[in-house]
Amino acid sequence: MEKEAYYILLYYCYAPIQDPEAYREEHHLFCIQNNIRGRIIISGEGLNGTVSGLKADCEKYMEYVQGDPRFADTEFKIDTHHSHAFSKINVRAKSEIVHSGLRHIDPKIRTGKHLEPREFKAMKDREDVVILDVRSNYEHKLGHFKNALRLDIENFREFPEKVKELEHLKGKKVLTYCTGGIKCEKASAFLLDQGFEDVYQLHGGIIKYGMEAGGEDFEGKCYVFDNRVAVEVNNVNPTVVSECHICGSRSDRMVNCANPTCNIHVPICEACGWEYEGACSVECKEDPEKRPYNGTGYYQKNINGYNPYKGFYQQPNKDRIKSALNVKSNS
């Protein structure tokens, strides 16, 4: 098998879905049949996902999504990888495709002006511009655009409250950005709703900026929500901005605390990793439940007993599930 035989797809699409639960089951079944793994959210306002699979399987998946007229304009950010980036498939129906609490905001009606990566690059250093990171603390601490305003939030749902602190920026051009673009759809729309007049968003987010504009002036790495954890973005003027949680030295080596009760995800340098046996503190190092440390700080979730068909609730789908099982057993 070739070295980079897999794709990792990052995407979202705002489009009305009348019966999210029924579509969730259909979508889930397609993923199982085509060996697609990852995390997908389905709601009445659209879909949002990061998935992985063999290149041919991902091509089928993209055709499946874009073949539905509702999602025909879905844009996929495609990266290559040597293996699956997920251990299983998880498709959920939720009230929003990204939790913001801004259910009254519809990006299909009004949102910030989309800037392609090269347009964003050309504007970001102007004196009348503010670059606004709308991601959470653990994300922008690992990496962010040079001179970006970074909000102190643990979750995106805190963003609306934080906007109250940005009143003094209403005379500026506000350029929002996030990992793949989805948070900016509602973030920029909400800024407009709150009286900001000149609002933009980086189309495709940090990931597309790295692919199409070389990642220039993105400092550090980009946090991603798959088994890779962090990815390189900048191949022009890269730097490390995150600090070891224990000693404070520069490090972008992300580690899950070896104490499963704690399990925080923070940068820990290699030296401290070995000294603290993968734990984030003395207390966690001494915890009797501490997991053995193998030098990576990554702990594969226990998927014993994992059943990809678990979660099919509706009775009419039994025949489809049996059919899918027969296909799988005969392949």
Active-site residues, by number, are 178
Quick one: tokens of 12?
Answer: 């979202």
Torsion sign (Cα): 268, 270, 271, 277: positive
10 Å Cβ neighbour count for 108? 12
Please name every residue paired with 93 in a beta bridge, in sequence order, or none if there are none.
Answer: 42
Task: Yes or no: say if 46 and 12 are a contact pair by the CB < 8 Å rule.
Answer: yes
CA distance 120 to 219: 16
User: ∠ CA(99), CA(49), CA(39), 5° rounding?
Assistant: 90
What is the 3-state composition of the chain as percent helix, strand, coil, each rounded to the nearest 5? 30, 20, 50
SS3 readout for 166-181:
HHHHCCCEEEEECCCC
Which of 147, 145, 149, 150 lies closest to 218 in space, CA to CA? 145
Torsion sign (Cα): 158, 159, 161, 165: positive
The SS3 of residue 224 is coil
CA distance 231 to 266: 15
